[in-house]
Structure 1
Amino acid sequence: MRRAAITLLAAGALLATTSCADQGITAAARAEQENLDGRGPITYVQGKDHANVVRPLLDEWNATHPGEEVTFKEQSDNADQQHEDLVQHFQSRDTGYDVTVVDLVWTAEFAARGWLQPLTGPMAVDTSELLEPTVRGASYGDTLYAAPQTSDGALLYYRTDLVEHPPATWDELIAQCATAKSAGIGCYAGQYAKYEGLTVNAAEAVTTAGGSIVGEDGVTPTIDAPEAKAGLQSLVDAYRNGHIPREAVTFQEEQARQAFQSGNLMFMRNWPYAYSLMNGQGSSAVAGEFAVAPLPGKTGTGNSSLGGHNVAINVYSEHKATAHDFLKFMLERKTQELFLSQGSLAPVRADVYEDPELIAQYPYLPTLKTSIENAIPRPISPYYPAVTRAVQNNVYAAIKGDKTVDQAVADIRSAIAAAGS
């Protein structure tokens, strides 16, 4: 009798949870059609503004938009805390978080849950001037749910005093490791600690080899395809053979930068932010002796994982017309240039990368544009947190030799399938 009662209670709880979820989706669908012409003050939500980019932009907006002023809600600088904060406010249908910055990998999750206003019809934004991969990264299915705000693409940093021509393919890079060995330094490193950066690096290896982690539906695991396995195997082999130094399994972005900057690496995969830091006179052993190239691929340019952030309208906002205008303001040329100059952030507008004056200031811009144009977003999945945990745990084990690649991909597949069931 007691077991039957518990079973009934559990079933009731499941039905209640399902009912709440259904009600939430219904409410969100209804909210999509509401307040489309609403104007008034709005709140802009973003993580810590370390570079002081946001406040000058808001001062400019507020000076010319009386009655539609924007208030800055500054979150912490911890991505997990930012995510949790947004989830709590969206779940409570808070109308106060009008415009929010969402990490590229959160966009599909939030869109699938009905929390982001689709940018269609009167809410549409012009994306014709934007780099195409940034638009894909702001979409879920065939619908744009956010405006690309800033982007990022990986670069191959290489020592010009040791390397005459940067490698165009992965095999060429490995072949040049003999030079690094003769110089008594490590050959190549990316970011292989067990954190989000490992998912980024693993995804690059997989997509460059022609594979993928999940299918276009964001749910079906495809990591066990031969191409995906071959991409992961290339990382495992490079680590086992010493082409990737042993200590690289502790590297995040900064550890990799410091190793290259101190002269202990010949090649490094990293983001553009490292460029100016390593050219600082007196603080870098490689200042003036390095350059950048696109990531090497199987037969040519490889596929970076697309980085960056999108800016979205809360489906429950009461002032969506103002929020829509603010999104367009974020895409203006002068705004995008400020992201670059003030925040060292990659613009999403193609024309910024073609400006001769900016190229003179930031010599890596043409290479960065190539990287972004060939970039592929990390898995666009409503279950992304489960996907990235599975990749991190199992790829880390494979690189260290604790699992075979076959076992690692089987375990990733099982974890993804379980998340979507």
Structure 2
Amino acid sequence: MKTSTARAIQCSAALAAAGLLLTACGSSGGSGSGQSAQSAPVSFKGRGPITYVAGKDTTGTVQTIINRWNKAHPKEKVTFIQLPTDADSQRQQMIQNAETKSDAYTVLATDVVWTSEFAAHQWIEPLPANQFPLGKMLQPVVQTGQYRGKLYAVPASSNGGLLFYRTDLLKKAGVTQAPTTWAQMTADCAKVKKLPEAKNMSCYAGQFQKYEGLTVNFAEAVNSAGGKIVDADGKPDVDTPQAKKGLDFLVDSFKDKTIPKEAITYQEEDGRQAFQASKLIFLNNWPYVYSLAQKSPVKGKFAVAPLPGLNGPGASSLGGSNLALSSFAKNKATALDFMKFFTSEESATYFLKNASLAPPYADLYDNASLDKQYPYLPDLKQSITKAVPRPRVVQYGDVTAAIQNEVYAALTGKKSSTQALKDLQGDLQKLTAQ
């Protein structure tokens, strides 16, 4: 589910709250004609079988919720279609289905950053906002499903990046608190690595393969160093000393092996598995890792904290998964009812308890019994409420591809961080001028 789980399942990438609000259509992932979002009322008619389309369920929980629906609605069964775990592949397959106007996909689990693109191309339907309990949800999360004043996607889960860390090793090394800065984190690693059991461990990893997760990690680094990708007016502003400090943290960490060289291939699951296998002291990942790590050899040996930054706590990218309705689907009455069921507070509570997925409902973060059972909830709420959203752009595929290309070139030594940011500034200026 991390956007799944990909960070961008995610990926779960924050560019800025203002975003590059482009009016022109035409994504690198599709051949849209530049249409405006439709304004005609949608007729939610037709009942019968539908499909639910999402990234591979690495949590093992989605089918349980679908089974509950199917048991209560034997004539309106939902078939779960699982796509690859990475958000880029999910987006591409959903676009291909839409461009052929196929009814194979009904309800789509979309990354929070896709709403503008999908709505502008009329690939998804506007939804009746008054039929969903949006007032009970965290408003930054609700806003990810809106486009031009209309609701096109309903939050199923939210996401904020967290720092997972080995409490047992830090304590043994004399460290009593999680680091709040990058310098503190590297210093803590040096202490831990003096322990015999940690000499072969690496310090830190996130997601650095050339996919959406790289956009997320880069944006978090830039924002956590006081920089930004775009300014308050939505204009590119990445060629700055602050942004360079963020990118330099990643580049230098690869050079000095704070980040292991193999992390250049990491997506979410690679990092999770490395952490659970005691190969990492610190890990930047989404909260879904918590429940899985509790079932692994590191159970009872780790905790979570807000992401560190240059001079203090950093800023996560805002992630999560929304539900949208394909414009070409059949049985839209069934689909609408299923979306209400899947995004209900009851379902969100189930996903929280069984998959550590961040709920969109505000009151679940302030529940004393839940906080006791899931001690990371206060940090998660802080991560989400202070997260920097990714841009609501029609051309998001082009924007994230430009970021990935330049950042990857810097991480692999093909470009200096100075040159990569200069080139990225030019790329984004061209995109915003279209």
Q: How does 1:136-285 map to 2 (within 5 A)?
A: 136-140=143-147, 142-160=149-167, 161-162=169-170, 163-183=175-195, 184=199, 185-214=201-230, 220-280=235-295, 284=297
Distance 1:255 1:322 in 2: 37
Partner of 2:84: 77
2:120 to 94, 112, 121: 112
Kept in 1: contact 2:35–2:120 (CA 8 A): no
SS in 1 for 2:50: strand
How far apart are residue 147 of structure 1 and its match? 0.4
Query: In 1, Cα distance between the equivalents of 2:164 and 2:330?
Result: 47
Q: Tell me the residue number matched to 1:13.
A: none
Alignment pair present for 1:397 and 2:406: no
* TM-score, normalised with respect to structure 2: 0.78
2:319 corresponds to: 307
1:326 is aligned with what amino acid?
A: F
Q: C-alpha displacement at 1:96, in angstroms? A: 6.3
> Quick one: which amino acid aligns to residue 57 of structure 1?
I
The correspondence for 2:35, drawn from 17, 25, 42, is: 25
Cα 1:268–1:59 change in 2 (3 A) is closer
Which secondary structure does the structure 2 equivalent of 1:164 belong to? Answer: coil
Against the structure 1 CA distance between its residues 378 and 159, is the aligned structure 2 distance closer, same or farther, given a 3 Å change threshold? same
Q: Work out the CA distance in 2 between the residues paired with 1:66 and 1:259.
A: 42
Q: CA deviation at 1:377?
A: 3.0
For the aligned residues, what is the CA RMSD?
3.2
Pairs within 5 Å for 1:45-124:
45-47=52-54, 48-49=56-57, 51=59, 53-61=61-69, 69-72=76-79, 74-78=81-85, 79-94=87-102, 97-119=105-127
- 207-216 or 399-408, which moves further after superposition? 207-216
Unmatched runs of 5 consecutive residues or more in structure 1: 1-19
Q: What is the percent sequence identity of the aligned residues?
A: 45
Report the count of equivalent residues.
392
Contact preservation (8 Å) 2:111, 2:320: yes
- Residues of 1 paired with 2:269 and 2:106: CA distance? 34
User: Matches of residues 319-338 of structure 1 in structure 2 within 5 Å?
Assistant: 320=332, 322-338=334-350
1:204 partner amino acid: E
The equivalent residue for 1:43 is 50
Q: Structure 1 residues 319, 287: closer, same or farther in 2, change over 3 A?
A: closer
Higher relative contact order (CA 8 A, sep 6+): 2
Partner secondary structure for residue 407 of structure 2: helix
How far did residue 354 of structure 1 move? 3.0
Matches of 1:323 and 1:251, distance apart in 2: 35
SS at structure 2 position matched to 1:182: coil
| CA 215–311 in structure 1, closer or farther in 2 if over 3 Å, else same | farther
- Partner of 1:229: helix, strand, or coil? helix
Q: Which amino acid aligns with 1:207?
A: N
Letter in 2 for 1:263: S
| Contact 2:179-2:185 within 8 A present in 1 as well | yes
| Segments ≥4 residues shifted beyond 6 Å | none
What is the deviation of 1:227? 2.9
Distance 1:377 1:279, change over 3 A: same
Higher helix share: 1
Where structure 2 has 5 or more consecutive residues not aligned to the other structure, the ranges are 1-30
Task: Report the alpha carbon displacement of residue 201 of structure 1 after superposing the two structures with TM.
Answer: 0.8
CA distance in 2, matches of 1:50, 1:253: 11
